[in-house]
Amino acid sequence: MKLHLKRPPRSVALALLLAAAAAHGAPPAGRLLAAQCAQCHGTDGQAVAGMEKLAGESEGEIYGELVKMKANIKPDEIMHRQAAGYTDAQIRLIARYFATVGRSATTTGAVSSRRKSDD
């Protein structure tokens, strides 16, 4: 199939391939698990008000915080109960997903903006 661009810049062609892969292959690991955080922390971790934004935090930061909460549940902390809902492997996937969407939304130009709109 022919693209409607005469000489697509490399980044655009790559973006289309990535978009196609994202749309039709296996969903990115962790995406569905991470979507359960969005009710409070915003779609893809972009909180709108009054809650911590998760997009762009590092994998180590998110993973570290969640396993710490889970290991020492304080009764007055709603997030500690939420953290207890996931295995360590699931927490790793969630952390990696937020670290990735944060990075692609802010720093990697054409590819990321394409992925952002199509993911």
Partner 1 sequence: MLLPNRRKLMQGSGALLAAAALPSRLRAAALPRVVVIGGGFAGATVAKYVRRWNPQIQVTLVEPNPAHVSCILSNLVMNGALTMSDITLRYDTLRTKYGVSIVADRAVAIDPVARQVRTQNGSRLPYDKLVLAPGIDFDAIPGLDSAVLPHAWQAGPQTLALKAQLAAVPAGGSFVLAIPPAPYRCPPGPYERACLVADYLKRNRRAGKVIVLDANNDVVAEPHTFHTAFQTTYAGIVEYHPATVVEAVDWSARRIHTNWGPIQADAANIIPRQRAGQLLAASGLLGSDPATRWAPVNPLSYESRLVPDVHVIGDSQGTGQPKSGHMANAQAKVCADALVRYFAGEAPDPAPVTASACYSPITARTASWLTVVFAYDPVSGTMKPVPNTLAEAPAPSSEHYEGMFGWAKNLFADSFS
- Give the number of other CB atoms < 10 A from CB of residue 65: 17
- What the block records as the tokens of 58 is 């590092």
Single out the residue of 64, 84, 108, 110 in contact with partner 1 (rule: CB under 8 A): 84
Counted residue by residue, the chain has a size of 119
Q: What residues between 10 and 39 interact with partner 1 by CB under 8 A?
A: 16-17, 19-20, 23-27, 31-33, 35-39
Query: Measured from the CB of residue 11, what is the shortest distance to partner 1 in angstroms?
Result: 14
Stretch that binds partner 1, among 61-69, 76-84, 103-111 (CB under 8 A): 76-84
3-state secondary structure of 109: helix
Single out the residue of 9, 60, 64, 85 in contact with partner 1 (rule: CB under 8 A): 85
Query: Measured from the CB of residue 105, what is the shortest distance to partner 1 in angstroms?
Result: 13
DSSP string, 73-96: --TT-HHHHHHTTS-HHHHHHHHH
CA distances from 7 to 11, 12, 28, 108, 110 (A): 11, 10, 30, 21, 16
Residues that bind partner 1 (CB under 8 A): 1-4, 16-17, 19-20, 23-27, 31-33, 35-43, 47-51, 73, 75-76, 78, 81-82, 84-86, 90, 118-119
